Each structure stands twice: as C-alpha cells, then as structure tokens.
Amino acid sequence: MQLSRRRQLSAAALALLGGTTAHAQTDRSESSLPAQFDSGLLWYQENADRIRDLEAVVSVRQPLSEDSGWNGKLTIDTVCGGSPIGAIPSRSAQSFVTPTATSLNPPVAAATQTTTSASGGGGGGGLDNLSLCTNPVQNQKYTVAPGALPIDQSFHDQRFALSGGYDTAVGTRNHVSAGAAISHETDFFSLSLNGLLSRDFNDRNTTVAAGLNLESDTIAPVGGTPVPGSRYGDFRKTGDQSKRVEDLLLGVTQVLSRRWITQANVSLEHAGGYQTDPYKIVTEVDAQGFDAGGIYVYESRPQTRNRYALYWDNKYALDRDMVEASVRLTRDTWGVRSGTVEVRYRLNLGAAGYFEPHVRAYRQTAADFFRFYLPQGTVTPGYASADPRLGGFTGQTFGVKYGLPVGESGELSLRVERYTQRGTDRSSALPGLQGLDLYPGLQALIVQAGLRFTF
C-alpha cells in the first residue's frame, strides 16, 4: 500500500534548525559541545481488526561548534492489519482477493472474515492485536460478511527511513541548513533533498525563514499497478509508477513578550505523478443502490495536486506551567479543505516531572472526486475514490503525556492518546443502501515512550 512517507519539509527543517537555538542551553562546563539523543517508540493500534503499527525513531544532533552541527535520524516501522479497500458494505456477502492474486479464485483456500463495522469494534479485537505482524498473506481470497466494511487483512509493510543534515550560522544573524532523506517500504521508495535559510532581526526576537523540499518517489504496488478506473477482476496491471513533490515553506517566528512566542508558516506544495491508491476500489451500484453482485472499479486520482497550508502556533510561559495552542488551515486542488486546532497544557512538577494533557480537533471536507459508490456501468468514471482518507470527517484526539527528568538533562516520557474519526456523511438515501453504515470511521490508541539525553 502506498502510504506515502514523504519527508515533510517541516519535520526536516525542525531537525536541522532546532538545535542551534533551543538546544544550546544544555551544555556542560569548559568547551564541550554535547550531542543530543532523542528517541521514541510508538505502538499504534486501531479498533477491531484494523491497523496496528510499531515504530521506532532515533535522532541525534552533534554540534560541531556553537553555531553549527550535523544531525541524523533513523526510523523503522512495521505496519500490518486490516485496511479498508474502498468498497462499501453490502446486504450480501462480498468476496475479494489480496493484491498479489491474479484471478478471483486463487488456489489457496478462502478465509472468511466476519469483521464487524468499526463503530461496534469493542474490546475483543483490540487486545488480540497485540501480536506483532506475522508474515503477510499472499494470493488469497477473503469473504466479507453482509453489512461489514470490506477490509483487506493482508496489508503488511515495513519502512526504513534515514535522514541527515548539516546546519550552520552564516554571519551573526543568518542560518542555513541542508539535508537529505531516503525512505524505503515494500511498495514505495522516496528520495528527497531539503534546504532552509533564515535570518534573525530585533535582537533575535524575529526570525524569518524560507525552505524548500524536493522529493522523488517510486511506487511499485504489490501485485502491480492496476489501470486506474479499470474493472476489478480484469487484473489489468502495469508496472512501477513515479511522482515528484516540491514544497516551499515561508515562515516567521516572533517572540512577542517575555512569555509569548508565536510562529506563522505558509506552505505551498505541488505534487505531480501517480497519486492513486493502487489497492483501493469503488463499488458500482444500480439506480436503486443495489450492487450487481460484485462489480467494482479501481480508483483513479488526478496526476497533479497543489496544496496550501497556513499554520499558526503559540507557546505561552506561565510562572510554572506552559500552554500551547495552534491552528492549521489547508486546502488543495482536489477539493479537500481542512482545519485543525491543537491545545496542550504542560503542568510542571519540578523533579517529579510534568503532565501534559493534549486535545486535537480536526475537520476535513471530502475531495471533489470522493464517491461512496459509482453508478453501474460507468465506463470512464473520470476521477473517483472511495478512500475514507479523502472523505468528509472529523477527528478528535485526547491524550496525556507524562515526562520525568533523568540524569542531568535527560527525560523519560510516556504519551497515551485516543484518536477517533467520525464520517460526516455516513448513509445514503438510496433504497439499496438503507441500514448500511458507509463510513464507520475509526478509533485508535496511540502509546509512545520516549527517551532523550545529552552525551
């Protein structure tokens, strides 16, 4: 599955530029320039038989002088579990095959899934999923019970990503950084380069920055690339695909007072190339909403996508605690518009550590070509996708992080969060689709441990 792990310009810029200002505080005596180590271990688990993910991140920053340094980051990730294939629930049982199959009746014995719709997932599915991902299921047929959301359980992926960069001051008030990143997954390979320039004003109370990220991706879907819009079951597949992404980031950071710092960023992105999800299909239904017993087409998305984002972040230092609030607005040429609000409150308890509750509210409108289903007999559907990620939904995250200081300037932390997605549109007026939940959403548990220290 192409879950694009494109290095965000933002994340790269953070890794590259962050050390020169904020991290300059934690040093020892003499002329030592200590290196920083920061790591995280994530367990992500969705409800029922959906996705579970184990990810480890390790990052290091080594200063070379007070004004320069290099940094590196390694990410290893293993994901598996069930992923919705885009087909909607039906009144009757449905059969599908995994991506590597070349016929609708592969030789391997069928496995029946009785996956309930996500909203009724309950606890049973959750704890059963604690087992790590085993070998992926290949070339298999699976049946989905009536009323259930079709989910492909064979999804299994491993990601290995490495990035690194160098940053340095130029003169007394300028900084420049450059870096590269590489990422490899079973069906996806990405290479990117990034650069950032910044300049300080007003005794370093104001920083203005511009950054660029250039990325080149190769997509090699498991089982080949289905011809977009072609019929599911025809097995018309082609070879590898590619796409390129360019990002421009412009931002300003302003220390407004002794307590308040604010940052506003504008980012522009242009992506060109293959952006369809090769594993997702769209159900065809007749005028009454009844399916014809298993007619689906592969989804199809435009070859270009321009995205625009405006992000505004604020941190305010209270006498003991801290509060952070941010807003992000995005829109793109696929018609997806989103708004995100995030608030964190950090309750500092000195040597006993800190608690940091966190709330995130997200809202997204569906892409122009998002369709729950297509009219039967659609020969050239144009662009169409039933991928829930391009639908209209709201997302809510509630969590808390606890951190404990260790050693001189280290920290051990644990973060537990609950993420819920709810579709804004979940049903259809068509008779054939009555009583079916077209957009069950998802619930996920996020648990992350962290360790950071200087050495």
Report 34-53 residues binding another protein (CB under 8 A): 38-40, 42, 44
Query: Among 362, 422, 430, 432, which residue interacts with another protein (rule: CB under 8 A)?
Result: 362
Q: Minimum distance from CB of 314 to another protein (Å)?
A: 7
How far is the CA of 6 from the CAs of 10, 192, 226, in angstroms?
A: 11, 8, 22
Q: Minimum distance from CB of 155 to another protein (Å)?
A: 12
Q: Minimum distance from CB of 166 to another protein (Å)?
A: 15
Angstrom distance (rounded) from CA 191 to CA 400: 34
Question: Taking CB under 8 A as the rule, does residue 59 contact another protein?
Answer: yes
DSSP character string of 258-297: SSEEEEEEEEEEEEEE--S-TT-EEEEE-TTS-EEEEEEE
How far is the CA of 308 from the CAs of 86, 314, 334, 364, in angstroms?
A: 26, 20, 11, 14
Question: Which contiguous run of DSSP H or E holds residue 337?
Answer: strand 337-348
Query: Among 78, 168, 333, 424, which residue interacts with another protein (rule: CB under 8 A)?
Result: 333
Are residues 248 and 271 in contact, defined by beta-carbon separation less than 8 angstroms? no
Query: Among 101, 148, 209, 281, which residue interacts with another protein (rule: CB under 8 A)?
Result: 209
Q: Which residues ranging from 278 to 307 are in contact with another protein (CB under 8 A)?
A: 307
Question: Taking CB under 8 A as the rule, does residue 112 contact another protein?
Answer: no
Question: Taking CB under 8 A as the rule, does residue 446 contact another protein?
Answer: yes
> Given the DSSP bridges, would you call strands 373-375 and 281-285 parallel, antiparallel or unpaired?
parallel
Query: Among 309, 386, 433, 436, which residue interacts with another protein (rule: CB under 8 A)?
Result: 309
Are residues 93 and 65 in contact, defined by beta-carbon separation less than 8 angstroms? no
Query: What secondary structure letter does DSSP report for 28?
Result: -
Q: Minimum distance from CB of 138 to another protein (Å)?
A: 23
Closer residue to another protein, CB minimum distance, 93 or 162 = 162
Q: Minimum distance from CB of 310 to another protein (Å)?
A: 5
- Which pair of structure tokens corresponds to residue 287? 């005028």
Question: Taking CB under 8 A as the rule, does residue 359 contact another protein?
Answer: no
Q: How many residues bind another protein (CB under 8 A)?
A: 116
Question: Taking CB under 8 A as the rule, does residue 422 contact another protein?
Answer: no
Question: Taking CB under 8 A as the rule, does residue 331 contact another protein?
Answer: yes
**Applying CB under 8 A, which part among 2-10, 123-131, 144-152, 184-192 lies near another protein?**
2-10
Closer residue to another protein, CB minimum distance, 108 or 404 = 404
Question: Taking CB under 8 A as the rule, does residue 230 contact another protein?
Answer: no
Q: Which residues ranging from 127 to 166 are in contact with another protein (CB under 8 A)?
A: none
Q: Which residues ranging from 371 to 390 are in contact with another protein (CB under 8 A)?
A: 381-384, 389-390
Question: Taking CB under 8 A as the rule, does residue 24 contact another protein?
Answer: yes
Q: Minimum distance from CB of 141 to another protein (Å)?
A: 27
Query: Among 68, 421, 443, 454, which residue interacts with another protein (rule: CB under 8 A)?
Result: 421
Query: Among 186, 338, 427, 428, which residue interacts with another protein (rule: CB under 8 A)?
Result: 338
Q: What CA dihedral angle connects 221, 153, 364 and 333, to 10 degrees?
A: 10
Question: Taking CB under 8 A as the rule, does residue 263 contact another protein?
Answer: yes
CA atoms within 13 Å, Cβ hemisphere of 56: 4
Question: Taking CB under 8 A as the rule, does residue 261 contact another protein?
Answer: yes
Closer residue to another protein, CB minimum distance, 154 or 448 = 448
Question: Taking CB under 8 A as the rule, does residue 206 contact another protein?
Answer: yes
Tell me the torsion sign for CA atoms 231, 235, 241, 247: positive
Question: Taking CB under 8 A as the rule, does residue 172 contact another protein?
Answer: yes
Report residue 123: phi and psi, to 5°: -75, -30
Determine how many CB atoms are found less than 10 A away from the CB of residue 375: 11
Residue type, 67: D
Query: Among 98, 117, 340, 443, which residue interacts with another protein (rule: CB under 8 A)?
Result: 340
Q: Minimum distance from CB of 331 to another protein (Å)?
A: 6
Question: Taking CB under 8 A as the rule, does residue 262 contact another protein?
Answer: yes
Angstrom distance (rounded) from CA 220 to CA 387: 19
Query: Among 131, 134, 135, 202, which residue interacts with another protein (rule: CB under 8 A)?
Result: 202
Query: Among 170, 256, 292, 341, which residue interacts with another protein (rule: CB under 8 A)?
Result: 256
Residue 291: beta bridge partners?
285
Name residues whose C-beta falls within 8 Å of residue 89's C-beta, 6 or more positions apart in sequence. Answer: 117, 144, 146, 147, 148, 149, 150, 436, 437, 438
Angstrom distance (rounded) from CA 333 to CA 336: 7
Are residues 231 and 283 in contact, defined by beta-carbon separation less than 8 angstroms? no
Q: Minimum distance from CB of 434 to another protein (Å)?
A: 25
Are residues 375 and 405 in contact, defined by beta-carbon separation less than 8 angstroms? no
